[in-house]
Amino acid sequence: MSQSLSTIESSSRTALVVLAHHRTDSLSAHVAQLAVGRLAAAGYTVDLLDLHAENFDPRMTVADQPDWGDRDKRYSDEAEAHMARILAARVVVVVFPVYWQSTPALLKGWIDRVWNYGFAYGRSKPRLAGKRILWLGLAGATAADEIISGMHQVLEAQLSEGLAYYSGFAHSRVGLLPDAEDQPQSLDSEGNLVIGAAIEGDARAAHYAAFDATAERFVDEFVATELVDA
Ligand SMILES: Cc1cc2nc3c(=O)[nH]c(=O)nc-3n(C[C@H](O)[C@H](O)[C@H](O)COP(=O)(O)O)c2cc1C
Q: What is the per-residue pLDDT across 135-148, written as a single tens digit (0 to 9) for each?
A: 999 999 999 898 99
Report the 10 Å Cβ neighbour count for 229: 10
Decide whether any atom of ligand 1 lies within 6 Å of the 137 Cβ: no
Q: Is the pLDDT score of 63 beyond 90?
A: yes
Cα(138) to centroid(ligand 1), Å: 7
The whole-angstrom separation of Cα 216 and Cα 210 is 10
Bigger pLDDT: 34 vs 142 = 34
Q: What is the mean pLDDT of the chain?
A: 94
Q: Render pLDDT for 14-31 as a digit per residue (tens, 0 to 9).
A: 999 999 999 999 999 999
Bigger pLDDT: 113 vs 12 = 113
How many residues in total does the chain contain?
Answer: 230
Cα(47) to centroid(ligand 1), Å: 25
Q: 194 CB contacts (<8 Å, ≥6 apart)? A: 185, 186, 187, 188
Decide whether any atom of ligand 1 lies within 6 Å of the 146 Cβ: no
Residue type, 87: L
Q: What CATH number has the domain bearing residue 125?
A: 3.40.50.360
Decide whether any atom of ligand 1 lies within 6 Å of the 138 Cβ: yes
Q: Which helix (H) or strand (E) covers residue 209, if one does?
A: helix 201-229
Residue pair 118/69 in contact (Cβ under 8 Å)? The answer is no
Residue pair 172/130 in contact (Cβ under 8 Å)? The answer is no
What is the DSSP-derived secondary structure letter of residue 45? E
The whole-angstrom separation of Cα 94 and Cα 32 is 8
- Residue to mutate, 99, 142, 186, ligand 1, most ligand atoms under 8 Å from C-beta: 99
Cα(65) to centroid(ligand 1), Å: 29
At residue 16, the pLDDT reads 98
Cα(217) to centroid(ligand 1), Å: 21
Residue whose Cα lies nearest atom 4 of ligand 1: it is: 99
Decide whether any atom of ligand 1 lies within 6 Å of the 100 Cβ: yes
Of 107, 171, 106, 95, the C-alpha closest to 139 is: 95
Q: Is the pLDDT score of 2 beyond 70?
A: no
The ligand 1 atom at the shortest distance from the C-alpha of residue 145 is: 11
Counting the structural domains of the chain, the total is: 1
- Residue to mutate, 25, 100, 199, ligand 1, most ligand atoms under 8 Å from C-beta: 100
Q: Which helix (H) or strand (E) covers residue 91, if one does?
A: strand 91-97
What average pLDDT does range 86-113 have in this prediction?
Answer: 98
Decide whether any atom of ligand 1 lies within 6 Å of the 19 Cβ: no
The whole-angstrom separation of Cα 133 and Cα 165 is 10
Of 144, 68, 151, the C-alpha closest to 103 is: 151
Decide whether any atom of ligand 1 lies within 6 Å of the 26 Cβ: yes
Q: Is the pLDDT score of 8 beyond 90?
A: no
Decide whether any atom of ligand 1 lies within 6 Å of the 103 Cβ: no
Of 135, 129, 144, the C-alpha closest to 98 is: 135
CA distances from 114 to 32, 46, 59, 206 (A): 20, 20, 11, 39
Q: Is the pLDDT score of 32 beyond 70?
A: yes
User: Could you tell me the residue range of the domain that residue 110 belongs to?
Assistant: 5-229
Q: Is the pLDDT score of 230 beyond 80?
A: no
Q: Which helix (H) or strand (E) covers residue 132, if one does?
A: strand 132-138
